[in-house]
Amino acid sequence: MAEEKGSRAPKPLSPRSAASKRWGDVDLGTLDLKLTQVAARHGPDQTAAILPWLEALNDEDPVCALAVADRLDSLFPHIGAEGLGRWILTGLRMYPGDQARQRAYFKLEDRRAIEMLHGEAGAGDLAAALPSLGLLFRGLAGIAFELQPRHQISLNGLPLRPVLTPSHLLLPDDYTALDGHDRYRIYRAAVAHAVAHLRYSTPGLPVQTLKPMSIAMVSAIEDARVERLLVRDYPGVQGWFLEFLRHGVRPQELDFSALVGRMNLALMDTHYQDDNYWVNKARRLFEAQAVDLHDYAAFRRLASILANDLGQMRVPFRIPSYLVPEAYRDDNSFLWDFNGATMPPEPVDLQAMSPLPQQQRPESALPDEWTAEPPATETEIGRHTYPEWDHRRHFMRTDWCTVIEKVPAWQGRRATSILVETGVAVMPPVALPRSRRLSRNRRIRRQLEGEDIDLNAAIEVMIDQRLDLSPDPRLFMRAGNEDRMSSVLVLLDLSESTNDCVGDRMQSILDIEKKAALLLAQAVIHCGDRIAVHGFSSNTRAEVNYYRLLEFGAPLDTNSTGRILSVPGRYSTRMGAALRHATTQLAHEGGDHRAILLITDGAPSDVDVYEPQYLVEDARAAVHESRRCGVHIFCVALDPQADPYVRNIFGWNNYRIVDEPDSLQAHLSSLYARLVLL
């Protein structure tokens, strides 16, 4: 029996073991008694099956969890444990981030809550449908096939999609009334789509150098191609597909998922009219090639054209949050072999960094070891846990996020020679503003002579005398000039979105960040101040990756330069945890001024958080914590629409929005001077 890794439902708990946990402000004995009564009426199996969902809902909002617990007696007779779990998912997906409406939903004060309850009652369960779905699969494909459920284990996880393998089809058990009022119809369309892939697709094709957006586009075109072929052989299945293709269309939105959803409907429904040029171009190219639906290579070229158009249109593609738009279609893992996949080489733009010596080779002649992603593995150097602020409950979740310190994959020995040859390690210093390098008039403490008494030193002298110790004679202070020592940590956002290309030269945001950080680091080290360059990305709260690229006091040599240039951009942006960890790094710095200079391209986000404001408020709390520790934080946002959230997080005059990414280096130089003079 094949089962998707990590797909098993949470281990059921007994009512008493569940009541041993903290449930908001409710009396635990009362809750224990209530669950025991429910178990006596409806059976311990039903009660144990719903407990994991209640506990997960309690982590989100105890008021909602208690509202459901109070109504278990009336809910169980209608839908049972599985239906109740889906009803809970429906409420969270219907009102993401809206606490008031979620509470009304779970208290049954919302009209739609009653509608969804009745919808779940009549929609049927996957377990009951599996035998007939197996017969349907055999009738369409002509072979016996194993169908199994795929379990949703997270309230905040993205909705599941079917998974097809050469021997099994895993069907999600988290389809809710939002996906369709009759779940059997979704399962039926999913079976037909899987049969189409088995009959007409070539599985396990190598990804090679395809970028993520291209993979998604090729997969969508392949989905449409095989469905057309199945409809040609079994015309009746067209209606099975059209019901859900129409259900998922969002005609007013222009993100990648919405455009692909509109395209998918246009390729199946000849009567559908769309006013988007790209959607109509996709339909025109597809229909022109539809005379030979078996020519996979031609359709793959068509998909590459469409993906390139979306790139030119600057349509963002977010890997962590991307979901196949149609609920019945599988996740396309059947089509691809990701072993040995590499991103296409992107030559380093040396012209933007420094003039090339005459004897240096041109960019086109750079060796593959430099342009390709290093095959070495990342090195984990430590794990740390940090709290996270839940603004909905006004509660700090202790030890909620795990920050994993890493050193990026980096071929030090071979790449060192490449760095020297290409001139990347020898960049001309950037001049910081002159006012930064001037010393200030200040009171110099702990001197052997002077016009004033240093009170702190005098107190220590008196203490030493009472302890019969030899006091330090330096108890005066005088006026004088002394350079201020500053410690600044440059924190780079390394999320997937930083791979987007911008500007006239179509450089990625990540490359622009790296080059600007390198040039600033070189200038600061030349001035004698201390600077560090770190980076972060996140893949849920359990994996906040924190890269130590350049340490305080370390030279900017070929190794540190190579680490900065080789760190990848991926996953999401859990900003609060990264800021808390960066603050702890600065706690060991003894300079006169400590600051964090954060460079980001978007608002905080992560795949396990649906509510946009949740991580924004957590980042805001982290900024306030850092200021109480004497660490000032300033943000540089490479997002023209960033003003609302950066103002909320960092406050007035503590951020700057850079509309032209190519000018980032100039902004960093002026901002650094401002930071160290605060």
Residue 242: pLDDT over 60 = yes
pLDDT at 348: 32
Which residue would you say has higher pLDDT here, 33 or 342? 33
Query: Which residues face 397 on adjacent strands?
Result: 388
Residues of the chain with CATH 3.40.50.410: 420-433+485-676
pLDDT digits (tens, 9 = 90+) for 109-151: 888 887 777 767 655 677 778 888 989 999 998 888 888 888 7
pLDDT at 387: 94
pLDDT digits (tens, 9 = 90+) for 569-621: 888 899 999 999 999 988 877 666 788 999 998 889 887 777 778 899 999 99
pLDDT digits (tens, 9 = 90+) for 271-286: 999 888 899 999 999 9
pLDDT at 3: 40
pLDDT at 78: 67
Residue 491: pLDDT over 80 = yes
pLDDT at 42: 64
pLDDT at 617: 93
pLDDT at 373: 41
Neighbours of 176 (CB within 10 A): 25
Q: At what angle do helices 256-268 and 237-247 cross, to 10 degrees?
A: 150
Residue 95: pLDDT over 90 = no
pLDDT at 335: 92
pLDDT digits (tens, 9 = 90+) for 194-215: 999 999 999 989 888 788 888 9
By the 8 A CB rule, do 607 and 572 touch? yes
pLDDT at 12: 38
Query: Which residues face 475 on adjacent strands?
Result: none
Which residue would you say has higher pLDDT here, 159 or 483? 159
By the 8 A CB rule, do 172 and 307 touch? no
**Beta pairing, strands 655-657 & 632-637:** parallel
Which residue would you say has higher pLDDT here, 314 or 65? 65
pLDDT at 422: 38
Residue 395: pLDDT over 90 = no
Residue with tokens 């080779």: 361
Share of the chain above pLDDT 90, in %: 24
- For residue 508, give both structure tokens: 């990625």
This prediction's pTM: 0.52
Residue 68: pLDDT over 50 = yes
Least confident of 45-59, 572-586, 622-636: 45-59
Least confident of 52-66, 234-248, 439-453: 439-453
* Residue whose C-alpha is closest to residue 675's, from 625, 635, 621: 635
Find the farthest-apart pair of alpha carbons in the chain and give their distance in angstroms, rounded. Answer: 101
Query: Mean per-residue pLDDT for 292-310?
Result: 90
pLDDT at 612: 75
Residue 343: pLDDT over 70 = no
By the 8 A CB rule, do 510 and 569 touch? yes
Residue with tokens 């905040």: 156
pLDDT digits (tens, 9 = 90+) for 511-543: 888 888 888 888 888 777 788 999 999 988 989
pLDDT at 411: 52
pLDDT at 30: 53
Residue 418: pLDDT over 90 = no
- In this prediction, residue 105 has a pLDDT band, given cuts at 50, 70 and 90, of confident
pLDDT at 624: 93
Residue 24: pLDDT over 70 = no
State the SS3 of 434-458: HHHHCCEEEEEEEECCCCEECHHHH
Q: What is the C-alpha to C-alpha distance for residues 257 and 351, in angstroms, rounded to an integer?
A: 36
- Average pLDDT of the residues of the chain: 78
Q: At what angle do helices 62-70 and 44-60 cross, to 10 degrees?
A: 150
Q: What are phi and psi of 635, to 5 degrees?
A: -115, 135
pLDDT at 25: 45
Share of the chain above pLDDT 70, in %: 78
Query: Mean per-residue pLDDT for 165-194?
Result: 84
State the Cα torsion 558-559-560-563 to the nearest 10°.
Answer: 120
R_g of the chain, CA atoms, integer Å: 30
Neighbours of 225 (CB within 10 A): 26
pLDDT at 1: 39
CATH numeric code, 420-433+485-676: 3.40.50.410
Residue 171: pLDDT over 80 = yes
Residue 227: pLDDT over 90 = yes
Which residue would you say has higher pLDDT here, 118 or 261? 261
3-state secondary structure of 271: coil
Which residue would you say has higher pLDDT here, 71 or 189? 189
3-state secondary structure of 277: helix
